[in-house]
Structure 1
């Protein structure tokens, strides 16, 4: 995901973003612009100002970190916030010194519950996280259920699906509707369909989709028998049961082949599916045994201590040629 975030930063590029580079789990850049310019970057949790390196910060009593915070408050990203910001300091070594220093130097209010700036430590850096750009404030406020997909991971799945504005988008394991909500949030999709075996989950999905004002249909149904006509959806995006937090490998051994057969039936010839699972060997075997579809890309992510893979699935080239031939014969 860091590689994809890096590419998206390069897409924005100069003059707003310069000196773009990556670490193992983040992207660093110099920034000169408005915070709105960064909103298209969906695949990050927090945006932070780098204040100092952690080891040096404690050696000088956070003097350089406080100077960096002051500079940002006067001329940088923090200056883009409206009014004097409230702040909090994470549970880091030297926390008391930082709290005293920020209060004395900047006069900000220490408010751990409603903060605009959070001073934290991540890896080798001391950071000032910008609350307005935190994941919880950039993404729609969602009602959640156990095993709901992380919104940032959900954004990756949507990006891989490449939905268009007029697409019918379907999630056959919709749960709380996180993925459908993300498609709508970026202005894609014309009709949103979701099915799940749990009526309670569908009720939560309805709470998440209703405020968006987009056409949607939710129904209780099993993924082995999708209640849709053949070739009726453009994009299928789903967080499948891994067999760990939800379901079991034994159940998946029956579910996956039957669902993939249904997927091949309902997907339009030029459609695309993006499916997330950690039951990888079973999924790959089930795809190989399913006619008409193939995996064209795999992207592994880390989420909640698990390492699932997002599989991008499309029709085989042979199946597409056969569909075109049938269409031409039908036109004759």
Structure 2
């Protein structure tokens, strides 16, 4: 079968490469959208955490047998329910009636297995969404989406056995997603006690307690030794949903200073922020670090940049 999969805008090439390594024929079909041809094994799709949603191409009037078969192949055994993602009440009602007549499925706006979206021409398969494949995380309003975390981790080029730090770790998303894919220790640090409490719950729920620790701490004053961290990956406050631009005037220089102190000589850091100028200025003022790549992203109504940093090599 042919599938449509989505990811955060800006991660398409990384996802395509991962899928091709899994033996799947993947082509980019637009911002954040890839098409997979002749998929006869769902396992590569199931275990690819950069994939957010999985769908079939669909338009009104199309047969939906393949959508039901895909739900069954994903392990769903109950009665199929569907919803129609259409704003116009009249058009939505007509589509609902037509689908019920064709399939006998129940219409449900909440608990559904197939989401029909005429605007995108897709039938989204709920049992293959990210949370259905990996599990549901405790979240806060500005929590990094897990599929985004998976893509940003790829930018960090982590290898087995490396340790990972998220100094603005929130509910622990980034180190937890890393632990699902790789052997190596992860540390979540955040000033907010509620975030760390939720991180502990997520760590337990995903069964990664032997790899990931979470503790309250200050990203600008880390209790870590010089050069002790292999990789740092963090989605830091933008100054919009969390904090303010004035807060970032203090946070970003302190964070960059600590990254420069604790990062190993051959280390790598990837920092996501939408307060791009402030962060770039903070790095430019620090002589130990340099920006080696800027990757623009778009998801959930925000358009941050993932800054990849490495140490400046000093001349001997």
Contact 1:139 1:151 in 2 (8 A): no
Look up the SS of the partner of 2:118 in the other structure. strand
The change in CA–CA distance for 1:222 and 1:71 in structure 2 (over 3 A counts) is: closer
Alpha-carbon distance in structure 1 between the residues aligned to 2:295 and 2:26: 26
Query: Which structure ranks higher in relative contact order (CA pairs < 8 Å, sequence separation ≥ 6)?
Result: 2
2:161 corresponds to 1:166: yes
Classify 1:104/1:178 alpha carbon distance in 2 versus 1 (closer, same or farther; 3 Å).
same
The residue that corresponds to 1:295 in the other structure is 291
From 194, 198, 209, the equivalent of 1:200 is 194
Judged with a 3 Å threshold, the aligned counterparts in structure 2 of structure 1 residues 14 and 278 are, in CA distance, closer, same or farther, namely: closer
Specify the alignment match of 1:177 in structure 2.
172
Q: 1:201 to 1:7 in 2, by over 3 A?
A: closer
Worse-superposed segment, 226-235 or 90-99: 90-99
Q: Output the CA distance in 1 between the equivalents of 2:22 and 2:236.
A: 41
8 Å CA contact retained: 2:9, 2:298: no
Deviation for aligned residue 1:110: 3.6
Task: Give the alignment's TM-score, normalised by structure 2.
Answer: 0.86
Which residue is 1:330 aligned to? none
- Aligned CA distance change for structure 1 residues 162 and 207 (closer, same or farther; 3 Å): same
When the two chains are superposed, the root-mean-square deviation of aligned CA atoms in Å is 2.5
Q: Secondary structure at the match of 1:312?
A: strand
Structure 2 counterpart SS, 1:317: coil
Find the aligned partners of 2:295 and 2:84 in 1 and give their Cα distance: 32
**SS of residue matched to 1:47:** strand
Between the aligned partners of 1:39 and 1:252, the Cα distance in structure 2 is: 38
**Separation (CA, whole Å) in 2 of partners of 1:198 and 1:308:** 22
Distance 1:317 1:147 in 2: 35
Structure 1 portions without partners, runs of 5+: 53-61, 323-332
Mapped to 1, the partners of 2:246 and 2:258 lie a distance apart of: 19
Q: 1:141 aligned to 122, 136, 139, which one?
A: 136
Closer, same or farther: CA 173–10 of 1 in aligned 2, 3 Å:
closer
Of 20, 29, 33, 1:26 maps to 33
Instruction: Look up the match of 2:4.
Output: none
Instruction: State the distance in 2 between where 1:215 and 1:45 align.
Output: 24
2: distance between equivalents of 1:11 and 1:218? 29
Q: Which has the higher helix share?
A: 1
Asked which structure has the greater CA Rg, the reply is: 1
Q: Distance in 2 between matches of 1:138 and 1:159?
A: 19
Q: Report if aligned partners of 2:172, 2:188 keep a CA contact under 8 Å in 1.
A: yes
Q: Does 1:114 align with 2:111?
A: yes
1:89 match: secondary structure: strand
Query: How do 1:185-264 and structure 2 match up within 5 A?
Result: 185-186=180-181, 188-211=182-205, 212-213=207-208, 214-264=210-260
Distance in 2 between residues matched to 1:258 and 1:13, nearest whole Å:
40
2: CA distance, partners of 1:266 / 1:24: 36
Q: Deviations over 1:182-238 (max 9, x none)?
A: 11122x242221211111211111111123232333322212211001111111111
